[in-house]
Structure 1
Amino acid sequence: MTNIAFIGLGIMGSPMAVHLATAGHQVAGVNLDPSRARPLVEAGGRAAESIADAVKDADVVCVMVPDSPDVELVLAGEGGVFENAQPDALIIDFSSIRPDVTIELARQARERGFRLLDAPVSGGETGARNAALSIMVGGEAGDFQEARPLFDAVGKTIVHVGASGAGQTVKAANQLIVAANIQALSEAVVFLEAYGVDTKAALEVLGGGLAGSAVLNQKKENMLSRSFQPGFRIDLHHKDMGIVTAAARERGVVVPLGSLVAQLVASARVNGDGGLDHSALLRGVERLSGKASD
């Protein structure tokens, strides 16, 4: 049993914290909206009043917040983890942020006597609820092995991919692939519908061939029903595509398709779809095709 602080109980963080509690760990959760701690409490965890309260007895501190500035504030800000955690605490950042920010935070953590793993996840809300996330981990190999039982409680595919920042770099690549797949699927759906094809049947047969993908399997029902309740919001994918394009530029890597998809994600956001699931890129294809309907 491990004493765990879990900071960030949103769409992803809440089910992850619940899985850790049901696995037998003592979990203290904290969130800007305290009501988000209810599922954790029902699973046997504790609702902490502040970051300081959550981490005071924690061996491991888990973080799942939206963006780089949020992680910086949670870890290095006033009243944050670095000021209040136990010496030698293991910090696991499940957030998806800039690799350079992770590398700097890992340096600060070492200087203060902590250990930091960057462990961004893929799989969306479904993966979080089913404890089937893919977790790409950067940091020291020994810290990864120590954290492995916790990763096993929330994920299915767990891989140590390198030093600090490597997890975030792999996650950026993941988000590039996912966004491109969703855009292609969206275009295919609008194309099929324009020809009056039985789209559900078409997606079934496409899913059994080379065109099949996890994206098609998970997002086809959203597109068929035009139901875009967020499992992963366009706002967050917009942030991630910014990470991809900026990081690519820093290393002199050309990502023409990634840059185009980043603009299409930005367009969806500007058109008011930022709070919808990223499968709502379909709405952008419809707008461009003159078929938009609200």
Structure 2
Amino acid sequence: MKIAFIGLGIMGRPMAGHLVAAGHDVTGHDLQPVDFGGRFADSVAQAVREAEVVITMLPADPQVLAVFPEIAEHAPAGALYIDFSTITPQTSRTLASQWKRTLDAPVSGGEKGAADAVLSIMVGGSQDDFEAARPIFEAVGKTFKLVGGPGAGQFVKAANQLVVGGTYALVAEAIVLMEAAGVDAGAGLDVLAGGLAGSRILELKRTSMLNREFAPGFRIDLHHKDMGIILDAARTAEVALPMGALTAQLIASARAQGYGSLDHSALLKVVEGLSSR
């Protein structure tokens, strides 16, 4: 396929590279030149002009809304638009109302998932467009499901970020509890990871959390943005998310304390602070 890929950051760059490796003809664009294995275009218009598929992977709603008019003006009318960004369901639905073939397809798995091409992709849109996009999803992900119509992918991503944020908070509390009690927290987390409390977060992050290594795979700033999406989605669906609201406050506290550029596992620093550890 001829693919335009807009947004070659921490996630987008390896994803675009996997598409090149899978044999697709990929033209990418970002604010600064990026080497991802394909051609780099100096503008969105140049990137999308002959594309069969246009992909965006951008930080938030404002960036997506900023580039979409240029996509709509210059991309071929029959192009499939796939947005891998995490944005509000309302924005995804607005885009779908303005472009005939649109999939909202936010991803989970972080920088490592993107690098290893094992992302989980939750997709909103039509069955036909989902099937047309299958070769793209196969190149960048491991699990991908059509979960409903326009905006549905973003609701599922909100649920994903709800669980991820809450799990980080609880793992942080478990570490603080074990260390304060004088037990071997590393051995304790090994046991937790092998039982019912096991999770992907414990599998991938327990060692770095114990070592207080918070190099960003997914920044607190972005999870703070996502928690806003979650709370807005809850209002839209008219449901109460008390644990989600508490998690949102902990993440907001992390950002207010200057940890926004750190990995979201840095919630441990907030939990430590609450107990003066």
TM range (shorter): over 0.9
1:4 counterpart residue number: 3
Q: How far apart, in 1, do the equivalents of 2:179 and 2:149 lie?
A: 46
1:55 counterpart residue number: 48
Deviations 1:202-232 (A, max 9, x none): 1111101001011111221220111111111
1:105 counterpart residue number: 95
Q: How far apart, in 1, do the equivalents of 2:77 and 2:234 lie?
A: 36
Give the fraction of aligned pairs with identical amino acids, expressed as a percent.
58
Q: How far apart, in 2, do the equivalents of 1:213 and 1:94 lie?
A: 24
Give structure 1 stretches of 5+ with no counterpart. Answer: none
Instruction: Write out the 4+ residue segments of structure 1 that deviate beyond 6 Å after TM superposition.
Output: none
**1:259 CA displacement:** 0.3
Q: How far apart, in 2, do the equivalents of 1:46 and 1:224 lie?
A: 41
Q: How far apart, in 1, do the equivalents of 2:213 and 2:149 lie?
A: 39
Count of matched residue positions in the alignment of Structure 1 and Structure 2: 277
Find 1:242's aligned residue among 207, 214, 228. 228
Letter in 2 for 1:144: F
Quote the RMSD (CA, aligned, Å).
0.8
Q: How far apart, in 2, do the equivalents of 1:15 and 1:221 lie?
A: 25
1:135 counterpart residue number: 121
Asked whether 1:225 is paired with 2:215, we answer: no
Written as runs of structure 1 = structure 2, the 5 A alignment for 1:140-155 is: 140-155=126-141
Deviations 1:135-194 (A, max 9, x none): 000001000000001100000001000100000000000000110000000010111111
Written as runs of structure 1 = structure 2, the 5 A alignment for 1:109-124 is: 109-110=99-100, 115-124=101-110
SS at match of 2:172: helix
Deviations 1:74-111 (A, max 9, x none): 112xxx1011101210010000000011001110113x
TM-score (norm: length of structure 1):
0.93
Asked whether 1:162 is paired with 2:161, we answer: no
Q: How far apart, in 2, do the equivalents of 1:196 and 1:238 lie?
A: 32
2:57 counterpart residue number: 64
2:86 counterpart residue number: 96
Give structure 2 stretches of 5+ with no counterpart. Answer: none
Q: How far apart, in 2, do the equivalents of 1:9 and 1:224 lie?
A: 31
2:262 counterpart residue number: 276
2:158 counterpart residue number: 172
Q: How far apart, in 2, do the equivalents of 1:216 and 1:261 lie?
A: 18
Letter in 2 for 1:19: H
Q: Which has the higher mean CA deviation after the structures are superposed, 62-71 or 213-222? A: 213-222
2:196 counterpart residue number: 210
TM-score (norm: length of structure 2):
0.98
SS at match of 1:273: coil
